[in-house]
A and B are shown apart, each in its own frame.
Chain A
Amino acid sequence: MKTIRPLILTLLALVLAACGKSGPASPPTATTPASAEPKKLSLFCWSEYVPQTIIDDFTKETGIKVSVENYSSNEEMLSKLLAGGGKYDLIQPSEYTIEALIKDGQLLPLDPGALTNLGNIAPEFRAMSFDLGNKYSVPYMAGFVGICVNTSKIKTPVQSFADVFVPANKGRIVVLDDAREIVSWALGSIKLGINDVTTENLALITPLLKKWLPLVKVYDSDSPKTSLKNGDVDIGVIWSGEAALLYAQDSKFAFILPDDGAHLFVDNMSIPKTASHPQNAHLFINYLLRADVSKRISDAFPYYNPNLAARQLLSTEQLANPASYPPAQKISVMQTFRDLGQLSATVDELVTQIKAKGK
């Protein structure tokens, strides 16, 4: 019993501390709305992707309170969405995840009448194979996965993914914490397509991954730029938007799109069929499609903006950032991820296992 008393006292103290903390965080109750839907929206989006100021301005304009939850991989989003842990009104899946969600009947068809700003999106992004004609999804941002090099530290030329994972770079590498991505780089480096995921091909790249992953110092999908900026690593395979931010701060950070394995990703806005505020979600999508709003997203997170009207508002400096807007001929040959079906589980397992071993 002697142990119990200090335990209880400590827990009490902590609970009190926690209560004091949670007080101001709880949002004020919304005034009763006149419209059919309560003025609420639950947004489930990528971390470092939707600027808070834009969400605040949307609330100011419409009175709709937005609660935000972040994820750092499509797989994480999927597991939380399908576990039914939270009722999300708006999600941001990438192309292959849209494909899987449509196949499984998880998405609500969009109401084109409510999306008056859809015309701002570039024609090529309105004809993406995973959702022709934007029945279920609207592009939010696109981008690339490539190599970011701190050229003041790494002097040897880097052209392919294989150049990143060399013994000289051991402990100096950051990569996205994303099994599908990691596998696609390995596939690219042995001249296979990013979607050529088969059991045989996975067996082919396994020795490669076993050589590569122990060299990695940091796995980070949320903010891979941080460790590069702080000098804890010197080279990384990261999102183009993150590389663009680094380049805008210091041009020593070069962004390289390898000919093999670099790919285009398109992140979209979709409404899950379980959404409780689909009307508000449409309002928010249409708001994000506005040229001035989309331009501000590009200011904060300089990815490849599929919104042509917004792109016209960008400065020449922004458009000249090689990580945001690489040469068109590079983009035109890039592939996008396709849904892998059953094999995605195998990919997850393979990478998790090698990652865990690599130390």
Chain B
Amino acid sequence: MPEPTRQSPTALGLDPRRASWKAWLLLAPLLVWLALFVLLPTILLIVTSFSNRDELGRVVYSFNWDNYRRCFDPTWLSIFWDSIVYALLATFICVLVGYPAAYTIGRASPANRRLLLTLVMVPFWTSFLIRTYAWISVLSQEGLVNSLLLSSHILPTPLSMMYTPFAIVLGLVYNYLPFMILPIYTSVEKLDNSLVEAAYDLGAGPLRAFSRVIIPLTRPGITAGALLVFVPAIAMYAITTLMGGGSNPTIGEVIQNQFTRARNQPFGAALGVLLMLLFLVCFFVLGRKKNSAHPV
């Protein structure tokens, strides 16, 4: 091996300020990927959202605002609202449950840490659909929980848990919890212990040290986790269909239905575009909040 480390970036053709063709070459796979799988589909989605459909449900390209006008019908707006509430609840519960877990993992000894992290990842080894079906047999009227409650005479009649908003939020929390734990964990791991000690030295109690030092220092992890949970949760349809039974529709379900059984791709596309705009707003708001908290 020659000694490439000795060469200056300029000698390698890598100008530190201006990207050379080599840098572009390195970026090319990512750019192609982005163009093919992000930019192109988005353009297709937007074009479709202004189109019509024919008798069999094929897209007929044209330009009209009808699909968007239909989106603002109270029916769909209230479903949008419900989905936001489900996703917010799921995110909130994920923070409550995930933060202590991530904190414990981050403060554990390296050997334990590896074990605990593996345990967080274990559920990903099975398909989330299988795990969701498992919940059905746990929560149904003749399922595990109800049989236990009935046989131990805690309850006289079985609880109705499946196919309710409760089941939807539970399914979301269960499936997205690792997405919250892992980013918080990376923040906690980097947390400088001397800063916490300094807080104690300066007279802060545990509560104050936690709220004024630990939380702000691990906020990037919380923000990242919240985005990773909230964004997919709002558009999720598989879990919500299975656990919600279709009678508590979410916006993800409505969109999926438009592309399948309702055969109205243009309308589904219009709802999809609105959902995308909602995500953009989320990123914008969370990004701003973070900046104002850290005016560095």
Binding site for B on A (CB under 8 A): 2-7, 9-10, 13-14, 17-18, 20-21, 71-73, 75-76, 78-80, 82-83, 100, 104, 171, 174, 177-179, 216-220, 226-227, 230-232, 341-342, 344-345, 348-349, 352-353, 355-359
Q: In the bound complex, do residue B221 and residue A227 qualify as a contact, i.e. CB atoms below 8 Å apart?
A: no
Q: Does B277 contact A (CB under 8 A)?
A: no
Interface string of B192-226 (1 = CB under 8 A from A): 00000000000000000000000000001101110
In the complex, residue of chain A having the shortest beta-carbon distance to the beta carbon of B127: A21
Docked pose: A3 CA to B289 CA in angstroms: 12
| Interface hit among B9-17, B22-30, B55-63, B85-93 | B55-63
Q: In the bound complex, do residue B262 and residue A3 qualify as a contact, i.e. CB atoms below 8 Å apart?
A: no
- Residue of B58, B184, B245 touching A220 (CB-CB under 8 A): B245
Interface string of B226-262 (1 = CB under 8 A from A): 0110000000000000000111110000100111111
Docked pose: A258 CA to B142 CA in angstroms: 29
- 13 inter-chain pairs at a CB distance below 8 angstroms, sorted by A residue, are A3-B223, A3-B287, A3-B290, A20-B125, A79-B263, A80-B260, A100-B56, A177-B261, A178-B261, A218-B163, A230-B162, A355-B249, A357-B75
Q: In the bound complex, do residue A219 and residue B56 qualify as a contact, i.e. CB atoms below 8 Å apart?
A: no
Docked pose: A28 CA to B109 CA in angstroms: 42
> What is the total of A-B residue contacts with beta carbons within 8 Å?
148
Q: In the bound complex, do residue B58 and residue A82 qualify as a contact, i.e. CB atoms below 8 Å apart?
A: yes
Q: In the bound complex, do residue A220 and residue B223 qualify as a contact, i.e. CB atoms below 8 Å apart?
A: no
Cβ–Cβ < 8 Å partners of B141 in chain A: 230-232
Known: A219-B245, A231-B158, A359-B248. A73 touches B260 (CB 8 A): yes
Q: In the bound complex, do residue B143 and residue A230 qualify as a contact, i.e. CB atoms below 8 Å apart?
A: yes
Cβ–Cβ < 8 Å partners of B72 in chain A: none
Q: In the bound complex, do residue B183 and residue A9 qualify as a contact, i.e. CB atoms below 8 Å apart?
A: yes
Q: Does B121 contact A (CB under 8 A)?
A: yes
Cβ–Cβ < 8 Å partners of B132 in chain A: none
Number of B positions contacting A (CB below 8 A): 54
Q: Does B265 contact A (CB under 8 A)?
A: yes
Docked pose: A353 CA to B57 CA in angstroms: 17
In the complex, residue of chain B having the shortest beta-carbon distance to the beta carbon of A9: B186
Q: Which B119-142 residues sit within 8 Å CB-CB of chain A? A: 121, 124-125, 127, 136-137, 140-142
Q: In the bound complex, do residue B262 and residue A232 qualify as a contact, i.e. CB atoms below 8 Å apart?
A: no
In the complex, residue of chain A having the shortest beta-carbon distance to the beta carbon of B219: A2
Q: In the bound complex, do residue A17 and residue B121 qualify as a contact, i.e. CB atoms below 8 Å apart?
A: yes
Interface string of B75-100 (1 = CB under 8 A from A): 11001000000000000000000000
- Residue of A20, A179, A232, A355 touching B162 (CB-CB under 8 A): A232
Docked pose: A78 CA to B264 CA in angstroms: 12
Could you tell me the dominant secondary structure of chain A's interface residues? helix
Q: Does B50 contact A (CB under 8 A)?
A: no
Q: In the bound complex, do residue A232 and residue B140 qualify as a contact, i.e. CB atoms below 8 Å apart?
A: yes
Q: Does B172 contact A (CB under 8 A)?
A: no
Cβ–Cβ < 8 Å partners of B246 in chain A: 177, 218-220, 355
- Residue of A75, A216, A231, A344 touching B140 (CB-CB under 8 A): A231
Minimum distance in angstroms from B62 CB to a CB of chain A: 15
Docked pose: A247 CA to B258 CA in angstroms: 34
Q: In the bound complex, do residue A76 and residue B260 qualify as a contact, i.e. CB atoms below 8 Å apart?
A: yes
Docked pose: A353 CA to B267 CA in angstroms: 13
Minimum distance in angstroms from B89 CB to a CB of chain A: 17
In the complex, residue of chain B having the shortest beta-carbon distance to the beta carbon of A104: B56
Interface string of B276-296 (1 = CB under 8 A from A): 000000000001001000100
Minimum distance in angstroms from A114 CB to a CB of chain B: 28
Known: A219-B245, A341-B55. A230 touches B136 (CB 8 A): yes
Minimum distance in angstroms from A152 CB to a CB of chain B: 12
Minimum distance in angstroms from B295 CB to a CB of chain A: 14
The residue in B186, B221, B262 that gathers the most chain A C-beta atoms within 10 A of its C-beta is B262
- Residue of B160, B182, B254, B290 touching A10 (CB-CB under 8 A): B182
Known: A75-B57, A75-B262, A230-B143. A356 touches B160 (CB 8 A): no
Q: In the bound complex, do residue A17 and residue B75 qualify as a contact, i.e. CB atoms below 8 Å apart?
A: no
Known: A227-B162, A344-B55, A359-B248. 8 other contacts (CB 8 A): A9-B183, A10-B183, A75-B262, A79-B260, A217-B247, A230-B162, A349-B264, A357-B75
Docked pose: A79 CA to B220 CA in angstroms: 42
Minimum distance in angstroms from B171 CB to a CB of chain A: 15
Docked pose: A76 CA to B265 CA in angstroms: 11
In the complex, residue of chain B having the shortest beta-carbon distance to the beta carbon of A341: B55
Q: Does B49 contact A (CB under 8 A)?
A: no
In the complex, residue of chain A having the shortest beta-carbon distance to the beta carbon of B122: A17
In the complex, residue of chain A having the shortest beta-carbon distance to the beta carbon of B79: A356
Docked pose: A341 CA to B160 CA in angstroms: 41
